[in-house]
Amino acid sequence: GNSVTQMEGPVTLSEEAFLTINCTYTATGYPSLFWYVQYPGEGLQLLLKATKADDKGSNKGFEATYRKETTSFHLEKGSVQVSDSAVYFCALSDGGATNKLIFGTGTLLAVQP
Enumerate binding residues for another protein (CB under 8 A).
Answer: 31-32, 34, 36, 41-46, 49, 51, 89, 93-95, 98-101, 103-106
**Distance in Å, CB of 104 to another protein, minimum:** 6
How near is the Cβ of 61 to another protein at its closest, in Å?
A: 19
Q: What is the dihedral of CA 38, 70, 92, 53, to 10 degrees?
A: 110
Nearer Cβ to another protein, position 18 or 100?
100
Name which of 111, 113, 18 is nearest 63 in CA terms.
18
Residues found in the chain:
113
The radius of gyration of the chain's CA atoms, rounded to the nearest angstrom, is: 14
What's the min distance (Å) between Cβ of 14 and another protein?
25
- Could you give the CA distance from residue 40 to residue 52 in angstroms, rounded to a whole number? 31
CB closer to another protein, 106 vs 111: 106
> Could you tell me the smallest distance in angstroms from the CB atom of residue 113 to another protein?
26
Residue nearer to another protein on the CB measure, 19 or 104: 104
Q: One-letter amino acid identity for 23?
A: C
Identity of the residue, 17 or 72, whose beta carbon is nearer to another protein in the bound complex: 72
Q: Distance (Å, rounded) from C-alpha 88 to C-alpha 21?
A: 8
